Amino acid sequence: MTSPELSNGATSSSSSTSRGQQQRNNPYYPTPTELVALALYPTLLLFGTLFSFLNPSVRSSPYDFISQSHVQDSGAVPSYFARKDNLFNVLFVKRAWFWITVSFFGFLLTHPGYNGVRGGSGSGSGMGSKVRATVRWALVTLWWVFVTQWFFGPAIVDRGFRVTGGKCQEAQGRVNAQVKADSMPGPVGGQGGEGGNVVDVAGFKEFVTAAACKAAGGKWQGGHDISGHVFLLVLGSAFLVQEVGWVVAKHYWRRNVRDERTVVMHDGAVKSAGTDLPRETTTGEEKRWDDYSPEMDEAREAREVVVAGGGLWDALGHGGKMVLGVVGLSAWMLLMTAIYFHTWFEKLTGLLVALMGLYFTYIVPRFVPALRGIVGLPGL
């Protein structure tokens, strides 16, 4: 016969397990902490859009819907940050992926969480985790290339602009004029349009990128222009927050902070992130931690000895501090973009396209074990 104490203990343990399972986050969605971090982006965009509507100087400044900016005249522009040639835009935003890449690899190559400087073993250290982190960087970089640079021809933003009715207005006008004058397809002769230039009418269908249009003296006009600045700043900064945040939070935060992320196992079971990763014990053998155990606390306590006396600022390391600077400047320039550039819908689509790439890189691996084996999860 079971004693009341044992019975109560078993009931308590069962209730605790049941509550733990109920409290697990859905692996198909971002965790509550991730949602709070992601909420910063629509908040900045909403605040900036409202500010542009309510601020008298911004509202009264002439706006050019073709260039998606305020008229670039020193007397009319409402702010230094409304100028396309401001130093922050020229030196940071226009080269943002360079800064994002440099800060990421600076963190990856120098931070103790990736270089085994811990009081205990863990899967976050070693070459394997560095390779997986590099694969995630490659995935995010590939999405940036597809959206803004090249997608088996014109980039996604250019294709979207064309599909929604956009065209290179002035170049199209020159082509139409020459076709009418010469009444013949293919390369147009005659006077060759303005300045004696010859326009290849047959090849005009391939003339579908904003960069090529601008180089030819035309204006990108008429379609929906996804905000490349919003896309770039959101994608890059959120990528850095994911890569740095989980490493710092998981390995250098307070004791008993449990990883919110859950993963779908090969058998369909949902468990805490990292359960399917092999861990090396003090005897040198590999074992798998069954969800959450006191052994995890012991390893974390040993790691805390290494950073004893230091706070979160020290835990970031030199690479993490550079990342923090890049993320902070990205947030500021995102706010400036929200106030002075693009329509609200163009900013919204820029945000959504960035979130698509982030979802595939950081959420999909949680419920696709085969993909998780290749790209891993930050901090594990």
- Top pLDDT among 328 and 118 is at 328
Q: Tell me whether residue 229 is one of the annotated catalytic residues.
A: yes
Alpha carbon distance 108, 244 (integer Å): 9
Looking at every residue in the chain, the average pLDDT score rounds to 75
**Residue bearing tokens 């601020």:** 55
Of 229, 251, 266, 318, catalytic:
229
pTM of model > 0.85: no
- Indicate which residue of 70, 111, 251, 342 is catalytic: 342
Q: What is the radius of gyration, based on Cα positions, of the chain?
A: 27
Strand, coil or helix: 257? coil
Backbone φ and ψ of 45, nearest 5°: -65, -40
Answer yes or no: 266 catalytic: no
Residue-wise pLDDT for 129-162, tens only, equals 899 999 999 999 999 999 999 888 888 988 888 8
Task: Taking residues 219-224, report their average pLDDT.
Answer: 71
CA distance 219 to 167: 8
Give 2-16 pLDDT, tens digit per residue.
444 444 444 444 444
H helices of 253-343, in order, are 294-306, 312-340
Query: From CA 355, how far away is CA 363, in angstroms rounded?
Result: 11
Of 23-37, 109-123, 194-208, 222-236, which gets the smallest average pLDDT? 194-208
Nearest Cα to 228, choosing from 35, 30, 89?
A: 89
Question: H or E segment at 251?
Answer: helix 228-252
